[in-house]
Structure 1
Amino acid sequence: MSQFKYQMLIQWSEEDNCFLVGFPDFSGQRWRTHGDTYEEALTNGIEALESLIIAYKATGEPLPEPTVSKAA
């Protein structure tokens, strides 16, 4: 899946007492998964991104263009 350069946002939630994971390039729900630790959130985020890509391909929906930032 390394050819897909999508942003993954991992943010602590005091309300949920866990790290929330989202993908800004994909419309729909803001948060896709979570984890009790940052590492768990990252692992779950990778799995969620892979599942998103599979779902888009299965329905024939075009994948969104990834937002790409350039280093200074």
Structure 2
Amino acid sequence: MNQYYFSLNISYQAFLSHYSGAASSVHVMTDNGLRLQLAASKLRPFLSQLGIRGHFRLTTDQNNKFLKLETL
């Protein structure tokens, strides 16, 4: 398993295009400087009236397939 840590601060308005499906992925920069592409649908559970804000841990398998995303 691999774990990646990153912070997000996306306003509700900015995430609307991802939520509606117009944009299917989000690019994030991990705390270690690695750039990751994440399906926008994985962030939907974390969307609030303020948008998506917080520090997250992404867990993948050895082939970098998504396992889970958690807020810290």
TM-score of the superposition, structure 1-length normalised?
Answer: 0.29
Higher strand share: 2
**Greater RCO between the two (CA within 8 Å, min separation 6)?**
2
Higher helix share: 1
